[in-house]
Amino acid sequence: METHISCLFPEILAMIFSYLDVRDKGRVAQVCAAWRDASYHKSVWRGVEAKLHLRRANPSLFPSLQARGIRRVQILSLRRSLSYVIQGMPNIESLNLSGCYNLTDNGLGHAFVQEIPSLRVLNLSLCKQITDSSLGRIAQYLKNLEVLELGGCSNITNTGLLLIAWGLHRLKSLNLRSCRHVSDVGIGHLAGMTRSAAEGCLSLEYVTLQDCQKLTDLSLKHMSKGLAKLRVLNLSFCGGISDAGMLHLSHMGSLRVLNLRSCDNISDTGIMHLAMGSLRLAGLDVSFCDKVGDQSLAYVAQGLYGLQSLSLCSCHISDDGLNRMVRQMHELRTLNIGQCVRITDKGLELIADHLTQLAGIDLYGCTKITKRGLERITQLPCLKVLNLGLWQMTESEKVRSPLFMLTESRYWVS
């Protein structure tokens, strides 16, 4: 007896369709009635985010999304009222409005007029017209919000953070990248330092403060006291942060990932504070901190030996610093030392001998390494990615090992 795909039960078809990309999920629905019915099963669309251009009225759009069980939406262009989306999807879980430059406080105010208990994720990145007024609406009506993206919303001030601290007690992730008006006062609100006005967002686990130029070490003191659950902290390009602030962070036992990239006032002393505390960091980035040198690597080996990822691009480190560190770093999987121009083949040999779990290494711009050092690195048993951009070598010296496939400036180890 012949078996044809048309004989499959709808549940089996739905299982197969769930592995297709979004475009093909839509295409199979057009084949026949049986496939259409199977493709509308909610399991097919589980976790899918609908990407929409809202230009003209489409009465069938939101009923179709709801029939599929889609509850995550990204608006690519917004030429209709945002309330059109909220009314059409009352059980929405995730709303991404990133880059909708024409979204205003007025438009958001008309959309959020009652509680939306299902909404967990809201992305307003680069919605540059949004101000503290919108954050008041969000704090009032989106009480169950867990993720709030405000990167590039440059009109947000400490008042807005006070409103967030007052209303969004379940918030776990907050991105304030380049919110230039935010200062220590606002971080104090989030950390619960002003309990008389706001309880704070004490459940925060992920905080991005990249390029918030008004922040000082006082913000770190606030976070160390109030944000006991904080796991990931991005302070890159925060020029007001210094070594003294690291002393506060060193006591945050829950912190796992710390980004200090281009924090110009961080030096070996700051790394010492981190290493001497109770931190259990898995990831540390101090790239382009030009006051970080070989002594920092000794501190890392002494107190941060559990690191799985370490980025030191453009730091003043040498083979001597690597020699002081590598024997203790048994968990290290990723090492970024691009543009560390003092590293030579001797450093690569130390890495090859001791960092046996290394899966990725960045040697971009390390101009003193040669074929000899690279051949040692390629013998690392777990290595998958080797970045060699700007690596200077004569044509006759280039490695022609079958281990490598060159893609742009990156070698992928096969």
* pLDDT of residue 34 exceeding 80: no
Residue 59, in any domain of the structure: yes
Give the 3-state DSSP-derived string for 192-256, with helices as H, strands as E and coil as C: CCCCCCCCCCCCCCEEECCCCCCCCHHHHHHHHHHCCCCCEEECCCCCCCEHHHHHHHCCCCCCC
One domain for residues 69 and 182: yes
CATH number for the domain spanning 36: value is 1.20.1280
One domain for residues 67 and 176: yes
Q: What is the pLDDT of residues 151-168, one digit of tens each?
A: 999 999 999 999 999 999
One domain for residues 284 and 380: yes
One domain for residues 214 and 111: yes
Residue 153, in any domain of the structure: yes
> Residue 278 forms beta bridges with which residues?
none
Indicate the residue among 29, 46, 63 that finishes a domain.
46
Residue 152: give the domain boundaries. Answer: 49-241
Q: How confident is the model at residue 42 (pLDDT cuts 50, 70, 90)?
A: low
Question: Pick from 274, 284, 278, 337: which is nearest to 308 by CA?
Answer: 284
One domain for residues 53 and 40: no
One domain for residues 28 and 53: no
Distance CA(2)–CA(216), nearest Å, equals 73
pLDDT at 394: 42
One domain for residues 36 and 164: no
Residue 254, in any domain of the structure: no
% of the chain beyond a pLDDT of 70: 91
Q: How confident is the model at residue 38 (pLDDT cuts 50, 70, 90)?
A: confident
One domain for residues 90 and 212: yes
pLDDT at 363: 96
Residue 215 dihedral angles phi and psi, to the nearest 5°: -75, 145
One domain for residues 189 and 61: yes
One domain for residues 215 and 297: no
pLDDT (average), residues 40-53: 76
Q: What's the half-sphere exposure (Cβ side, CA atoms, 13 Å) at 380? A: 28
Q: Give counts: helices (H), strands (E), the chain.
A: 16, 16
Q: What is the pLDDT of residues 232-287, one digit of tens each?
A: 999 999 999 999 999 999 999 999 999 999 999 999 999 999 999 999 999 999 99
pLDDT at 390: 52
One domain for residues 326 and 236: no
Q: Is the dihedral of CA 158, 160, 161, 167 positive or negative?
A: positive
Can you read off the two tokens belonging to residue 61? 């759009």
Q: How many domains does the chain have?
A: 3
* pLDDT of residue 313 exceeding 60: yes
pLDDT at 321: 98
pLDDT at 412: 54
One domain for residues 54 and 176: yes
Q: Which residue has the higher pLDDT, 407 or 114?
A: 114
Residue 350, in any domain of the structure: yes
Residue 195, in any domain of the structure: yes
Residue 257, in any domain of the structure: no
Helices 268-276, 294-303: inter-axial angle, 10-degree rounding: 0
Residue 405, in any domain of the structure: no
Rounded mean pLDDT of the chain? 89
Q: How confident is the model at residue 398 (pLDDT cuts 50, 70, 90)?
A: very low
Residue 247, in any domain of the structure: no
CATH number for the domain spanning 143: value is 3.80.10.10
